[in-house]
Structure 1
Amino acid sequence: MSRSHEGTLAGWQLAIVATMSHAPLLVAWVAIPGAFQFGHVVAMPLVYVLGGVALLCAALAFTSMARRVRHPGGLYALVSVGLGPTLGLGVAAVVLVSYLGSLVSLYAVFALTLSGLSVDVLGVDLPGEAAALIGVVLVSLLSMVRLRRVIWLLGGLLVAQAVILIWFDVRALQLPMRDGDLTAPLDPGWLFSGSFGIALCFAVTAFIGLDTSLNFIRDVRAPGRNVPRAAYLAGIIMTTASAFSAWAVSAATSGQARAAVAPDDVATTTGTTGQSLFTLIGRIVGPEAAPNVGRLIMFTLVLAVVGCAVVLHKAVNRQLSGLALDGVLPPAFRLGARQAGLVRAGVPALAAIGAVGVVASGDRIYALWLGLASGLGITGALALTSISALFWFLRSDEDETDVGGWELRAVAGAVAAVVTGFVFVFGLLRLSSVFPPAGGRPSWLLAALIGTAFAAGVAWALVLRARRPAVHAGIGRPEPDAVPPLVTEPVPVHETYSYHR
């Protein structure tokens, strides 16, 4: 494995990467309208705060564990060490499928937005399928650039999104409102004014991306300190931005009235392109300036989608490299391998096929549903990771010297496991209500895909255990100098780590 990428990033740079894995403008323009449309909860800002706190609890648990398990595989490595390699490989398959689904959803949003911009700005009717391919090619090219050189682009995109969101939220809160519009969204009594479970699903899945910080653990200087800080900072930024934006939208669209009926200016569309917020922009700047402001926001959204997709592509590459290091995949998947670029071309190829299919269907809700279902897959993986971290801290003999000690991390893992487990199960059971099977749309397909991916990973792990027990035992194990005090199975060191040399 080439080590030219290792130890090149500072903690603040990893924080940018982790934040851009769920671009704030994308959350505000897609996830929040979708949450209002299907959840109908007045106190939506509090829902996003609860979702953010749950993900921060998960981050506290898995980053503390990752200090001892420094492996580019991310979540699956932690599950392998805490709950066993068999479940770990099942999680690896779910994460890969979920990341691929997220990429397809991102390319679909890119295509729909770029097509609209091309007609509006250039007067050119760019087919959505062609726009999706443009997005795949652009992201693939940027993914070939070293991460430390892409950081500045990601940082610039993050600043641009922050400026737009702050402007939009502040101006929305300055609109003339009735008494109580400002305070109703912050009243806990309105948490159950609609479907709290569906709203929480949108909130938690919107924050998915904190886990990518684990995939870049070898890219960071002093990972034991910088990876946790980056995950916490990214989580705090996203929680604050999402809750504030949800408050602005909820207050500006007459808070309590939305509990019974979602008004047209919040939920007339599927939420995939943020068109439901253009009414608010018109009220903020006036009908004459609204088109130009809308174009600026849509252009920034296109760039934000590109940055988010680049981060996911690189996270997938590092997870594939981790599986290759473990001997599960051929050596060609390792970072720096001669044939790595050719082998990994399959990821953008699959994403391109999926994006073209979504756009060609003409049903925009596919993009929203695919993104939500992919987020649920990662949420399920986070639930198992939180349980793994809980067992780790309960069974480990090593003392945690940071604030709160191992007890705080065990409690955080338990809280995260309960919340993410609830969201995962509830989301799978209620997908049909969010995405009704009208017009031939199979609402059960992606839920079945998550289960199939997990079963396939577990089945492959069982095959490895029977035919290549040394490889099976070494799945997710760290380098020899970072072996944690607790392992789930006896592992012959000379066999397990031979491929690291």
Structure 2
Amino acid sequence: MLTGSRPSGSSQEISTYRGQDQASLRAGRLGTTGLLLSVLAATAPLMTVAGVMATTYAVMGVVGLPLLFVILGVLMALFGIGYAEMSRHVHNAGAFYAYIARGLGGLAGSCASYVALVAYSALQVGVYGIFGFEVAGLLEKFFEVSVAWWIPSLAALVVTGVLGARKIDLNAKVVGVVLICEVLLVLVIDVAYAADPGPQGLSLHAFDPDTLTGAGLGTALCFTVAAFLGFEQAPVYAEETDRPQTVVRRVMFLAVGIIAVFYAVTAWLISVATGPDGVVAAARQESSGLIFTLAEPRLGTVFTDVLHVFFVTGAFGCMLAFHNVVARYAFAMGREGLLPRAVGRASAGTGAPALGSLLQTLVSLVVVAAFVAVDDKPHGDPSAPVLHLFTWMGNVGALGVILLMTVTSIAVIVFFTRRGSAGAQAGRLVCSALAAVGLGFVFGYAVKDFDVLVGAASGSALGWVLPGIIGAAAVVGLTVGLVLRARAPHTFARIGQGNEAFRLDQAAGRQQGR
């Protein structure tokens, strides 16, 4: 049934059609718990603790990393206030681009759709590199079996593709189990670090604002923001939740709060374990092995081995979470004519975006194959292709998401102002404006220091080639939007409307047939 309608040309809200046909994702699959686990899985706790935290300490030398998580938690909450309100008015698997289209118009939405597709694809594909590298290492260590990194990567690619085409509640159970195990392990580490601190004891020096001074602050924010990526995915599943107006909003704020507190405490306890004065030096010496090196004398070798295993399973959960997001963006784009129409059809059996999942699997296969082709093992550095795949694609994806968040904050302001709701929504619009400024600051630093983010030499072509991928995606989206506006204005008008537009078409057809 159509739960709302509007006159032609009106800007009033259309309620989302919660149907069971192939123009709709299957409704009622996710509740609060399932959705929360799905979005938190993308943060990959062990990968964040071992990778993001150690890298930020080592590369940027910022002792106040725990305070950065608090600051970014506030920034993400400011963003979430307007974003969550928008999710109550627009239920669309295209989330970012749908909101941007409804606020800034079809061309902006078309650009954003391709940026989102490329950004989340890059985030997902990048994890295959670190996953394959770690699995190959575990097989060598425990079973004395030597395999190329890309073999476990391709195996994971197939499993992810199959799960991505299945029911979303099954996926939520898989990533949920993995996430809970990771969180429990990190909590054990935290307790061990607190019980056996370094030479400076339970020092709170890492929360001193003076620790954030220095030229590396902006770039450190760019590193750290990657730890939050995942909470913003909640509206992507709005069509599949049982009560989208309530569940999506609740999950976003729960996720931001959990991430900020959990990672701030863990980053602080890492500095406690080494001593605040020694955490930067220790991170530079141990790199991503820092938490394992600190855990082993406190918890034993067996526990450290278990950490390595769950690092791998966490990476898989992260891959699956991002894969599901990409599949839904592709589905939304296909449904609205921004991709081939077939991609915008849900599976009749599972209600999942099966062709969107297949598309992302093929993209992943092509990218992984490209990195396999340049793998010169055993003659060169065997870790180079996989670490480049992880670092390059991860930072390209994060850059794209930061841009989308910035533009979405602006779109929220325009959307409610045009609806005549600026007065009623004044508080939320102020929060969106503050979020746009803060996120714009982070985006600017990310572009400026992109060579630092990917570990390239100063002046390296990678500093502009890799960010250029996001720019190219925006140009492709703009081109598609211009073509649709000129040749298929009816399709262009649907951008951001989702399955609402199809219900209006059907209603109009029934009226004309009378």
Cα distance in 2 for partners of 1:232, 1:204 equals: 16
From 419, 425, 444, the equivalent of 2:444 is: 425
Say which of 244, 250, 266 aligns to 1:223.
244
Give 2:175's match in structure 1, choosing from 154, 163, 185. Answer: 154
Deviation at 1:26, TM superposition (A): 2.0
Structure 1 Cα separation of the partners of residues 502 and 275 of structure 2 = 55
- Find 1:329's aligned residue among 339, 349, 355: 339
- Letter of the aligned partner of 1:10 in structure 2? G
Aligned-partner Cα distance in 2 for 1:182–1:358: 44
Does the CA contact (< 8 Å) of 1:380 and 1:421 recur in 2?
Answer: yes
Which deviates further from its counterpart, 125-134 or 333-342? Answer: 333-342
- Report % sequence identity: 25
Which of 449, 457, 466 matches 2:469? 449
Name the counterpart of 1:307: 317
Matched with 1:486 is: none
Per-residue deviation, 1:301: 1.5
Equivalent residue for 1:380? 403
Counterpart check, 1:298 vs 2:308: yes
Q: Give the Å deviation of 1:31.
A: 1.1
Selected match of 2:271 from 250, 259, 284:
250
Matching of residues 72-471 of structure 1 within 5 Å = 72-179=93-200, 182-193=203-214, 195-257=216-278, 262-263=280-281, 265-268=282-285, 274-285=288-299, 289-290=300-301, 292-336=302-346, 341=354, 344-358=357-371, 360=375, 362-363=383-384, 364-398=387-421, 406-438=425-457, 442-471=462-491
- How many Å separate the matches in 2 of 1:67 and 1:481? 17
Cα deviations by residue, 1:208-234 (Å, 9 ceiling, x for unpaired):
122211111100011011101011111
TM-score by length of 1: 0.88
CA drift of 1:180 comes to 6.8
Q: Secondary structure at the match of 2:442?
A: helix
Q: Secondary structure at the match of 1:41?
A: coil
Once the two structures are superposed, residues 142-189 of structure 1 have per-residue CA deviations (whole angstroms, 9 ceiling, x without a partner) of 212211122222221121111111111121122243347621101112
Q: Deviations over 1:227-274 (max 9, x none)?
A: 01011111111111211111111222221345xxx31x31236x5xx3
In structure 2, the CA distance between the partners of 1:355 and 1:50, relative to structure 1 (3 Å rule), is: farther
Change (3 A) 1:427 1:134: same
The letter for the 1-side match of 2:442 is V
Partners of 1:55 and 1:48 in 2: CA distance: 10
Q: 1:482–1:22: structure 2 CA closer, same or farther, 3 Å change rule?
A: farther
The worse-fitting range, judged by mean Cα deviation, of 175-184 and 231-240 is: 175-184
2:495 corresponds in structure 1 to: 475
Alignment correspondent of 2:14? none
Shift of 1:336: 2.2
Contact 2:223–2:453 (8 Å) recurs in 1: no
- Paired letter, 1:92: S
Q: Which amino acid aligns with 2:76?
A: L
How many Å apart are 1:455 and its aligned residue?
A: 1.2
User: Gaps (5+ residues) in structure 2?
Assistant: 1-20, 377-382, 510-514
Aligned-partner Cα distance in 2 for 1:135–1:341: 17
| 1:330 Cα offset (Å) | 2.5
> How many angstroms apart in 2 are the aligned matches of 1:367 and 1:459?
29
Say which SS state the counterpart of residue 203 (structure 2) adopts.
coil
One of 48, 51, 56 as aligned partner of 2:77? 56
2:42 is equivalent to residue 42 of structure 1: no
Confirm or deny: 8 A CA contact 2:56 2:224 kept in the other structure.
yes
> Is the 1:56–1:235 Cα contact (8 Å) retained in structure 2?
yes
Alignment RMSD (CA, Å): 2.7
Could you tell me whether the CA contact under 8 Å between 1:333 and 1:344 is conserved in 2? no
Residues 380 and 406 (structure 1 numbering): CA distance in 2 closer, same or farther, change over 3 Å? same
1:432 alignment partner AA: D
> Distance in 2 between the 1:337 and 1:304 partners?
28
Give 1:138 deviation, angstroms: 1.8
Q: Is the 8 A contact 1:318 1:335 kept in 2?
A: no
Quick check: 2:164–2:354 contact (8 Å CA) kept in 1?
no
Q: Which amino acid aligns with 2:118?
A: V
Residue aligning to 2:92: 71
User: Match for 2:190: what amino acid?
Assistant: D
| CA distance in 2: counterparts of 1:496 and 1:112, whole angstroms | 54
Q: 1:87 Cα shift?
A: 0.9
Q: Letter of the aligned partner of 1:80 in structure 2? A: A
| Structure 2 Cα separation of the partners of residues 6 and 352 of structure 1 | 30
**In 2, Cα distance between the equivalents of 1:64 and 1:389?**
9
Q: Per the alignment, in what secondary structure is the counterpart of residue 372 of structure 1?
A: helix
Q: Which moved more, 1:471-480 or 1:72-81?
A: 471-480
The CA deviation string for residues 329-373 of structure 1, in whole angstroms up to 9 with x for no partner, is 222112425797467533212213323544636312541232122
- Which residue is equivalent to 2:12? none
Taking the aligned partners of 2:418 and 2:59, their CA distance within structure 1 comes to: 42
Aligned mates of 1:143, 1:42 — CA distance in 2: 39
The structural deviation recorded for 1:412 is 1.7
1:276 deviates by 2.9
CA gap of 1:124–1:155, structure 2 versus 1, over 3 A, is: same
Q: Find the residue that maps to 2:452 and give its secondary structure.
A: helix
Q: What is the rounded CA distance, in whole Å, between the counterparts of 1:149 and 1:461 in structure 2?
A: 35
Residue by residue over 1:92-127, the C-alpha shift from the partner in whole angstroms, topping out at 9 and shown as x without a partner, is 111111111111211111101101110111111121
Supply the AA of the counterpart residue of 2:43: H
Q: Name the CA distance, whole Å, in 1 between partners of 2:225 and 2:212.
A: 15
Compare 322-331 and 435-444 and name the one that shifted more.
435-444
Structure 1, 407-416 or 105-114: larger mean CA deviation: 407-416
State the one-letter code of the partner of 1:416. Answer: A
1:327: how far off?
2.3
Question: 1:482 Cα deviation (Å)?
Answer: 12
> Is the Cα–Cα contact under 8 Å of residues 129 and 153 in structure 2 kept in the other structure?
yes
The TM-score, its normalising length taken from structure 2, stands at: 0.86
- State the number of aligned residues: 475
Q: Residue 352 of structure 1 aligns to which amino acid in structure 2?
A: L
**CA 1:443/1:4 → structure 2, altered by over 3 Å: closer, same or farther?**
closer
